[in-house]
Amino acid sequence: MYQPSRHLSTFFIAGFQHYDGALVINQMSIGDSIELCPEPGNPYDPESIALYFNGVMIGYICTALTDFIVTFADDSNIVNLHNWSNGSFSGMKWENVTTMAWVCRIALILTFFLSKPIRAYQLGEVYARNMGVPIKAFRAALILLSSVLSACVTAFAGPISFVGIALPHLMKALFKTAEPLLLIPASFLGGGIFCLACDLIARTAFAPTEVSISSVTAVFGAPVVIYMMVRRKAGRE
C-alpha cells in the first residue's frame, strides 16, 4: 500500500555546537518531538526559529519564517510571493484596489488637515514652534500617515523603489511651488501616473518577459535622487 512521504522540508540547524545540542544528541531518536519557538532577539537572524528538545535549546533554523511559508504554500502563492518581493501589479484584484482607495482617501483627507503645519514646518522647526505647531505630535502624525500609506502599497504591490523619494521633488519642480495644498494631491496623482507608466514599460518593453516594476522605477527615479544629492551637496559648499 502506497503511503506518502512525511518528509516536508530540510533545514540546516545553526548553532548546534554553540548551544547544548551535543548534550542531548544521544537522547534524541527519530519521531521525538521538538519545540519550535520564534527567536526575534537573535542578533544574527531576527526571523529565526529556535529548536528545543526537552527544554534544552539545540540550535535555530535560519530565516525559518520564509522557508516555512514557501514549504507549505501552494504553487500559485509561491509565484505571487516572488512577484510581490520584486514589486508587481500583476496579482492585483478589484478588492485590493477598493481597500487601497479607501485607505488613500482617508489618508489624503488627514494630510490636507496638516497642510498649514507642513507649510510652517517648511520654514524651519523654530518658526513652526513659534507659530504654535506641536512639533512632537506633528512629527508623529506625519510618520503615522507615511507608514500607513507605505504599508498599504507594499502589502498589495510589494516594495516599489524611488517613487516616494523622487516624485514629490519632480512635482515641486514641475509646478515651481512648495505649497502643500498643491503638492499633496499632485504627489498622489503623479505617483499613480508614474507607477502606471512604469508598469506599462515593465510589461511591454521585453514582452513576453515581464520585468519587475521596481526595476523600471529605479531606472527613472534613481537619477532624480542622485541629482538631488549632488545639488544639495553643491549648495552646502
pLDDT band at 170 (very low <50, low <70, confident <90, very high): confident
pLDDT, tens digit (0-9, with 9 covering 90-100), for 61-98: 555 555 555 666 666 666 666 667 777 777 678 888 88
Collect all residues with Cβ–Cβ distance below 8 Å to 129 and sequence separation of at least 6.
135
The DSSP letter of residue 25 is G
Q: For residue 11, give Cα distances in angstroms to 4, 14, 71, 149, 158.
A: 20, 9, 11, 36, 27
- Statement to judge: residues 54 and 161 lie in one domain: no
- Statement to judge: residues 141 and 53 lie in one domain: no
- Statement to judge: residues 189 and 230 lie in one domain: yes
pLDDT at 155: 81
Residue at 6 is within a domain:
no
What distance in Å separates the CA atoms of residue 232 and residue 237, rounded to the nearest whole number? Answer: 9
Q: Is the pLDDT of residue 7 over 50?
A: no
- Statement to judge: residues 21 and 127 lie in one domain: no
Q: Is the pLDDT of residue 188 over 50?
A: yes
> Which one of 23, 49, 71 terminates a domain?
71
pLDDT at 48: 64
- Statement to judge: residues 194 and 104 lie in one domain: yes
Residue at 4 is within a domain:
no
Q: Tell me how crowded residue 114 is: count the other CB atoms within 10 A of its CB.
A: 17
pLDDT, tens digit (0-9, with 9 covering 90-100), for 191-207: 889 988 988 888 888 87
What distance in Å separates the CA atoms of residue 5 and residue 32, rounded to the nearest whole number? Answer: 17
Residue 46: domain span = 13-71
> Which one of 71, 87, 111 terminates a domain?
71
Residue at 195 is within a domain:
yes
- Statement to judge: residues 64 and 94 lie in one domain: no
